[in-house]
Structure 1
Amino acid sequence: MGTPHNEAQTGDIAKTVLMPGDPLRAKYIADNYLTDVSCFNTVRNMSGFTGIYNGCRVSVMGSGMGMPSMGIYSYELYNVYDVDNIIRIGSAGAFDDDLNLMDIVLGMGSCTDSNFAAQYNLPGIYAPIADFTLLKTAYDVAEEKHFSVKVGNVLASDVFYNDDTTVNDRWKKMGVLAVDMESAALYMTAARCRKHALTILTISDHLYRGEKLSAQERQTGFTKMMETALETAVRLQNNRQMEAL
């Protein structure tokens, strides 16, 4: 098997994959949360690992930055490796006044300024949304753990350094909570492949208060988001096993 971007073979990757943007965050999760770990990919240094978390087989792999990169890796995971669920675990810049650094945001929907949907030749504007079962499960986990979590619309932007300095204000007035750079591509790819996706974000910057985390804090400090995603994967597997009885 294998692709130009992923050297994994059949069976190397679990049905649920956690996808941070940073491959070093993938390695951190593998090193600190998983047992019986095997590395299935090192192509382009986009590390991928499969291991066991609380009796559940789960994989974690970097997605890189931006929607083209997410589009490639998620498409291959869904179509080549028969992955069912992808949970993006990434960082985001906050618009919402009530969000603080390290808060968790679950992306119920993902607005975008990207042209990613043009490939589908749709007769209107597509609304990328999360899988409800993944969303509800993750929300329940975060609530039970008493994590600070908010659910709503996010923005997936193609532009990090935007020449138009007014764009954030316009998204904010529509109630968009925060901005990342991958969620819309993940949701659209999942919809096209008839698979499941969720974006879980940790606030790393507040774009209106000038607050931000360090690069090291982004790599290793998002433990609440990681634990929420891992426990969501466990509950998905347990529910699937119950349904099979």
Structure 2
Amino acid sequence: MQPHIECRKGDIAPIVLLPGDPKRVNLIGSFLDEYREVADNREFRTITGTYQGVPVSVTSTGIGCPSTAIAVEELIVCGAKILIRVGTCGSAWREEITPLSVVIPTACVRDEGTTIEYIPEGFPAVADTDIVAALTASAQEQGIRFFRGINRTHDSFYAPDRSVAKWGEFYLDQRFNDTPSPILSSEMETSALFVIATLMGVRAGAVLAVDAEPTPLKSMVLRQTHLPNVAFKNKDISTEAQKSMIRTALGALKHIR
């Protein structure tokens, strides 16, 4: 029995979806053929079921890399082989990445402290290429607007704007005036998943729901645009964005080998 997720071998399917919010576990469960409750301890809520005949588990990670690292490590001990984060990233950093889009990270900026305790910060946080391809195919088949690229994982939800703006200081150089933001999105968990999965020899990917209007990195640096107040997100848009994210993740299962 694992001490935090309270699961053991036999409880967990080889494929696990990882929402942050425990309440989102049952939302994902509503898309499954059937499922059973496995455990509910602290921020870690787990169900196991099937989707179109494919066994799948869902475990919430809570907010941030420390709890995500705990969940990922313990799930791997219980038999997880493929882990896919299904979470939100709020507003994106490019104008064209509008609400109801999804971001499929190919890699992450490790702007957080958890993974430094595993391996030096020069080590990349990279998604498994086959998982990225499966998520891409799923989004394309379902007509879901998607973007692939670099995500930033960070620690502080209420950090000052300068913690974001530092990633766009290259815009102060005229050579880069027409360069789109090299970072698409920002959230608080994915780099821990990617690094730990790589170190422990399993596969990982992520699909992130965009549920707020974009705050372009370039505008923030050059025009002093401030980060949006996420408390004013439209709840209907947020729910629909999450459903697109869930459909993308579940639709990818048939493409994973």
Q: 1:24–1:219: 8 Å Cα contact kept in structure 2?
A: no
Distance, in Å, in 1 between the alignment partners of 2:119 and 2:240 is 40
Structure-2 residue corresponding to 1:85: 82
Calculate the TM-score normalised by the size of structure 1: 0.87
Equivalent residue number for residue 130 of structure 1:
127
Q: Which amino acid aligns with 1:178?
A: S
- Equivalenced residue count is 232
Q: Which residue of 1 aligns with 2:17?
A: 18
Determine the C-alpha separation between the residues in 1 that align with 2:2 and 2:27: 25
Residue segments in structure 1 that go unaligned for 5+ positions in a row:
240-245
Name the structure 2 match of 1:225: 245
The Cα shift of 1:142 comes to 0.5
Shift in Å, 1:114? 1.3
Q: How big is each residue's C-alpha offset from its partner over 1:44-73, in whole Å with a ceiling of 9 and x where there is no partner?
A: 152211111111111111110000010100
Shift of 1:120: 3.3
Q: Is the 8 A contact 2:19 2:25 kept in 1?
A: yes
8 Å CA contact 1:14, 1:57 repeated in 2: yes
Q: Partner of 1:243 in structure 2?
A: none
Q: Specify the code of the residue in structure 1 equivalent to 2:155.
A: D
Q: CA 1:68 to 1:36, structure 2 compared with 1: closer, same or farther past 3 Å?
A: same
Q: Which moved more, 1:89-98 or 1:200-209?
A: 200-209
Alpha-carbon distance between aligned partners in 1 of 2:198 and 2:11, rounded to the nearest angstrom? 24
Paired residue for 1:242? none
Q: Please give the secondary structure, in 2, of the residue aligned with 1:222.
A: helix
Q: Which amino acid aligns with 1:194?
A: G
How far residue 10 of structure 1 moved from its aligned partner, in angstroms, is 2.0
Identity in percent: 26
Letter in 1 for 2:144: F
| Structure 1 residue 219 displacement after superposition | 5.5
Identify the match of residue 189 of structure 1 among 185, 196, 199: 196
CA gap 1:44/1:146 in 2 versus in 1, 3 angstroms = same
Q: TM-score scaled to structure 2, two decimals?
A: 0.83
The equivalent residue for 2:183 is 176
CA-based RMSD of the aligned residues comes to 2.0
CA distance in 2, matches of 1:118, 1:198: 20
| Distance change (3 Å), C-alpha of 1:115 and 1:59 | same
SS at match of 2:130: helix
- Asked if the contact 1:27–1:47 (Cα under 8 Å) also holds between the matched residues in 2, the reply is no
- In the aligned structure 1, how far is the partner of 2:118 from the partner of 2:59? 26
Q: Secondary structure at the match of 2:183?
A: coil
Q: Secondary structure at the match of 1:205?
A: coil
Report Cα offsets for 1:199-225 as digits up to 9, x if no partner. Answer: 110112235284853457546751111
Unaligned segments of structure 2, at least 5 residues: 172-180, 217-227
